[in-house]
Amino acid sequence: GENVEQHPSTLSVQEGDSAVIKCTYSDSASNYFPWYKQELGKGPQLIIDIRSNVGEKKDQRIAVTLNKTAKHFSLHITETQPEDSAVYFCAAGGNNRLAFGKGNQVVVIP
Amino acid sequence: EAEVAQSPRYKITEKSQAVAFWCDPISGHATLYWYRQILGQGPELLVQFQDESVVDDSQLPKDRFSAERLKGVDSTLKIQPAELGDSAMYLCATGGAGGNTGELFFGEGSRLTVL
Residue A77 in contact with partner chain B when CB distance is under 8 A: no
Is B42–A49 a contact, with Cβ atoms under 8 angstroms apart? no
Q: Which of A96, A100, A104, A105 has the most B C-beta neighbours within 10 Å, making it the best mutation to test the interface with B? A: A96
**Do A1 and A94 meet the contact criterion of CB atoms below 8 Å apart?**
no
Tell me the shortest Cα–Cα distance from A80 to chain B, in angstroms. Answer: 23
A98 touches chain B (CB under 8 A): yes
Q: Work out the angle at residue B43's Cα, subtended by the Cα atoms of residues B40 and B46, and round it to the nearest 5 degrees.
A: 135
Among the partner residues A45, A94, A103, nearest to B41 by beta-carbon distance: A103
Return residues 47-76 of A near B (CB < 8 Å): 49, 51
With beta carbons less than 8 A apart as the criterion, state whether B52 and B69 touch.
Answer: yes
Residue B102 pLDDT > 90: no
Top pLDDT among A8 and A102 is at A102
Identify all chain A residues contacting B98, using CB atoms and an 8 Å cutoff.
96
d(CA A105, CA B3): 25
Q: Do residues A89 and A2 touch, judged by C-beta distance below 8 A? A: no
Task: Give tens-digit pLDDT for A27-74.
Answer: 999 999 999 999 988 899 999 999 988 899 999 999 999 999 999 999
**pLDDT bracket for residue B72 (50, 70, 90):** confident
Q: Is the pLDDT of residue B101 over 80?
A: no
String of b and e for A25-60 (b: at least 16 CB within 10 Å)? beeeebbbbbbbbbeeeebbeebbbbebeeeeeeee
